[in-house]
Structure formats: C-alpha cells, structure tokens
Amino acid sequence: MILLRYDVLTVALLTITSVQAFWSSNQWDASRIRLRQFDLTQSSDNFYRINDAVDGPNETITDETTEYRLPTSVVPDRYVITLIPNLDDGNFTFIGAVEITLNVTNATNSITVHANDLEIDDESVSVHRLIDEVDLVVLGLSPDTGRHFFTVTVSEGLVVGQQYRLRISYTGHLREDMGGFYRSYYYVGTEKRWLASTQFQPTNARRAFPCFDEPGLKAIFKVSIGVDFGRHALANMPVESIDVDAESGIVWHHFQETPMPISTYLIAFVVSDFSNLSSSDGFYSTWQREAAVGQAQYSIEVTPRLMRALEAYTGQEYFLPKLDQVAVPDFDAGAMENWGLITYREQLILYVEGVSRAMDKQNVATIIAHELAHKWFGNLVSPKWWKYLWLNEGFATFFEYFTTASVETSWRLDHQFVPYAVQSALSSDSLQSSHPMTVDVGSPNEISAIFSTVSYSKAGSVIRMIEHCLTPETFRQGISQYVANHGNQTSEPDYLFRALQEQYENEVESPEFDVKTVLDTWSTQKGYPVITVSRNYSQGQTIVRQERFLRNMSESPTDTRDYKWWVPLTY
C-alpha cells in the first residue's frame, strides 16, 4: 500500500553509502587508515512532495502480540465467496456467502474466523466433514466483537489431517469510510453514479467476508459477484463466465480461481460502470470514469515497461493472467497492490499531458512501480505477520525509485531517493517515539500505526545501504534467490538475510561482514547513529564515534538501551 502525506524535509545529516569497513564500537581509532569519502547530503527547506507514509506511529506500540491472533489449530485452504452488492436501494448493503475449506493441524472442536460489521445468519452456519460428506452438529456460535472473532463450536473433535468445510451466509454494509467493501460515487453532470470498491489492508477483509484475516494464512480464492444491469465487476482474476438470473435480473460474474494461495488483504473487488483503456495485447487495463479514459494513456504506456524491468531484476515473471488498475474517486490510501487488481486514488494513476505537472507524471510512474514491486514483495513472498511489514514496504519503496529510474532515465530518481526517502526516514526516526522496523504488533490499531515512514523509507534506505555493501549485482542475485526460495510462502527478515549472505559468500572468498549481524542492528532497534569524525593532523589520527541521534539531542533518551549499530564506513 502507498499512503499520502505532504512533508517538509529539514534535517541535514551524514549519509554513509558504501562500505570498506564495518564498525560498531563507540569509538574507533582510524589513525592508520586514510579517510576517503563521506557522502554528505542535505535537503532544502523547500522540498515538498507526496510522501508515501504517515509520519511515525500515532499511538504507543506495545508488546500485545498474541491476544489478537487467531488460534492455529485450523487453517484455510480454499475460499468460495459469493457477493451481491446493492448500490441502489439506499441501504447500501451486500448479501454474502462464504465456504471455507479447512485443514486441521491440531485436534480441536472449534473454528475461529475473523468477522467485523457482518450480520451473520446463525441458521446458515454449518461445518461439513469432507471425507464422508457428514454435517457436524453445531453446538454454539460465539462472536467476540472486540477482537473481530467469530467462533463456531461443534459436537465432535476435528481430526488432524482431515478437511472440513465451513459455510456462512451474512449481510454486510457498503460503508462510507473507505475500508472493507465500501461505496463511492462520482457525478456525470448532475447524476450521481454509485460504485463499490475495496480496501482490505491491513485488517478489513473481515468486513467483506468471514475469513482468517492474517497475512500468513494464504489460501486459494474463487469469487462470484452479482451486479445490477449497467454495472460490471472486477476481481483479482479474469471473468470465467457471466450469466444472468432471469428472475432477479442479476448479472453474475464468475471469476477464475486464483492459481496460487493469496493473503486475505490482497483480495479485491470493484463494481462500477467504469470504462477501460487497454494495452494492445489486452493484458493491461486501466478502468476509470468514462470522461477520464484519455487520461489513462500514460499509465497504460509505462506499466508494461515497469513490469518488464521488475521481471528482469527479480528473475521471476508476473504470474496472473491479467493486470487491471482502477482509478477510484474515493480512496483513503494512495494505492493498493491487490493481486491482479491494483486500486489507486484517481490523481495518482491519471495524467493529462500539458495540464498535469511534471511531478504528477513522476508520481504516476513511481506509484505504479511501488505497487508492481509488491507483486513479488508482499504478494508472492508474504510476511508471516505484520511485524515484518517492512519486508513489503521497504522493497516497494526501494523499487519505486530504482525501477522507475531504469525506465524513465532522465528523472534521476536514483538521486531523488536520498532527499525523499533517506532524509524523510532520518527525520521521522530521530524522534523518541519512533519504532524499530521489526516491531511487535497485535491489535488492528497497532498494525495500522506501523504503516509509517520507518516501515517505508527507513526500510528502503537500509535495503539500499546493504545493496551498496554487497555491490548491486550480488544484491540482485541474492534478492532473486530469496524470491525463488520463498515464493507462494511467507517470510521473515532472517530468510532475506540468509539469501543475501549465501550470495555474498558465493561471490567473495573472505566475507568481511555477516549480513544478519549488520542488519539486525538496523531492523530491531529504533533510531540511527550520528557519526562524529575527529581528525588530529599532527598525530595522523582519526577518531570516529557513534551515538544515537535524537532530533533534540539535549533531551535524555526515554530508554536505557545501549544503542550501537554496525555502520558501513567508506574511507
């Protein structure tokens, strides 16, 4: 996901960009080594741009990690979802039904799923044992609205290794708050045209269908959506068939099943009367208001070029049979990387030559690159839990600049990375209230709070730092191996560090550092060091010191941790 915020960058700091030696003591005598290069970068007071994250956590992050997690005895294998949104009766509800095929990993007699703001038809809830086609007796239904849990208790134990099917019918609400399955509108003249779109990341798929709404619990999805005549539906996959219910007039769009397991937060639907502009091969389409079709030309032209650049970099092709991108009139975030159906705030995908600013064009390209990068980092290799969100957003921020730099070569986005990403990270991460890149989170509010400059820009900057340490090609090959090893699975930072280390050891006879040792100090601690270099010319001595940088250095730190980082120094 990309978020929006205007930011002023005012901090001038040392940025150390490549390595000749690693150093992590408080004081280092470098008298024998000639100091060669530091890359000093300073941003101006006048830099304004659309930033990609909110600035730091907006609430205290605690260690509350398990209370909000689902039990692990039962996990999803496959969802079949049926939805009928009603945009015209003034009530803005939708009728839904879900069938979840379940695998049992530990004996239990209850199944707990997430559900939020859904009116579940208690009579409809059933649990079916697949091996002998027997319906189990449902003993009780227990909603826990605080944690968005819905627990179904059955009369007999679910057997490890067997599959069951949970069925639930319900009514949901097309809300106005741009979360879950929500409603939006635009005008044609004085006529109000309604549409429905989705925003599930991080914890709002549960507002659209009962589900195991955690990023690590990936499953296959098959979706059908019934719409009124005059509208059409889009989902992650292409339409497999369309049929019309003669009695109700509902037009059913049955979508192909996903070819791989997908995290719930990446599922999406759009029901609208939008028009599309497509690439000549029909693979890429952008969907928008009819009046805005001409404004999609640049996105249709640049998207395939960005995709090819990312495929070449990762060594892995994009996997779905189509890519739709939708310009949504009401959209809370900047854009959302739903697999096969990326949604954008209108002005971040549409561009009018001669009217829009040059910066608008750059935003279109970089935000598309950001969302496409998620196809590998987040969608294919998904975080085990939200505490590793930086694995998604750090890489998306990194490629947002460096992939676009390889496609739009005159914009110098590789240089822009420093003022826009590194400096904004330094600014945000210099506060006492900052958080580590890897941070324990539990409740939906805690999870939302880490969609922050640290998870985006600091993580992107640390990724760039290790790229410089390893050299770009060694880094690229390590990343390619990481994606190959963990595709269609879930990941944590150690998997990334291991892949990079292995590639480094393949390339270098005597490695000078250990990737995990270095990156643990950057990813598990908040803040960063300010480096002070003192040279004594008469004695031919250089003293290098590190200490945690706080925006207000006279303020005493709020914790007693002895902060030290492994710092790459170029000399």
Q: Which residues are catalytic?
A: 371
User: Can you tell me the distance from the alpha carbon of 78 to that of 220, in angstroms, rounded to the nearest whole number?
Assistant: 5
What is the nearest approach in angstroms of Zn ion to the Cβ of residue 167?
34
Q: Which of 568, 526, 521 is nearest to 551 (CA)?
A: 526
- What is Dmax (Cα atoms) for the chain? 94
Buried b (16+ CB within 10 A) or exposed e, 476-507: bbbbbbbbeebbeebbbbebbbbbbbbbbeee
Q: How far apart, in Å, do the first and last CA atoms of the chain sit?
A: 38
- State both tokens at 135: 């319906």
How far is residue 253 from each of residues 83, 84, 93, measured CA to CA in Å?
Answer: 10, 10, 18
Nearer to Zn ion, 393 or 446 (CB): 393
**Smaller CB separation from Zn ion, 1 or 174:** 1
Minimum CB distance to Zn ion smaller for 70 or for 373 = 373
CB of 395 to Zn ion, least distance (A): 9
Nearer to Zn ion, 2 or 61 (CB): 2
CB contact at 8 A, 219 and 77? yes
CB-nearer residue toward Zn ion: 306 or 396: 396
Q: Is 415 annotated as a binding residue?
A: no
Q: At which residue do the structure tokens 């090959």 appear?
A: 477
Q: Is there a contact between 227 and 244 (Cβ–Cβ < 8 Å)?
A: no
How near is the Cβ of 427 to Zn ion at its closest, in Å? 20
Q: Give residues in contact with Zn ion (CB under 5 A).
A: 1-2, 393, 396
276: left (phi over 0), alpha (psi -120 to 50) or beta: beta
Adjacent-strand bridge partners of 226: 252
What is the per-residue DSSP string for 331-393? Answer: -SSSEE--TTEEEEEGGGT---TTTS-HHHHHHHHHHHHHHHHTTTBTTTEEESSGGGHHHHH
In the complex, what is the shortest distance from the CB of residue 520 to Zn ion, in angstroms, rounded to a whole number?
23
Q: How many residues does the chain have?
A: 571
Nearest residue by C-beta to Zn ion? 396
Ligand-binding site membership of 393 (annotated)? yes
Shortest distance, CB of residue 333 to Zn ion, whole angstroms?
9
Q: At 226, give phi and psi (nearest 5°).
A: -100, 125
The smaller minimum CB distance to Zn ion, of residues 55 and 228, is found at 55
Residue 299 to residue 536: CA distance in whole angstroms: 56
Min dist CB 456 to Zn ion, Å, is: 7
Which helix (DSSP H) or strand (DSSP E) does residue 325 occupy? strand 323-328
Establish how many alpha carbons lie within 13 A of residue 65's alpha carbon, considering only the half-sphere containing its beta carbon. Answer: 9
Structure-token pair, residue 31? 């008298």
Residue positions forming the annotated binding site for Zn(2+): 370, 374, 393
Residue positions forming the annotated binding site: 370, 374, 393
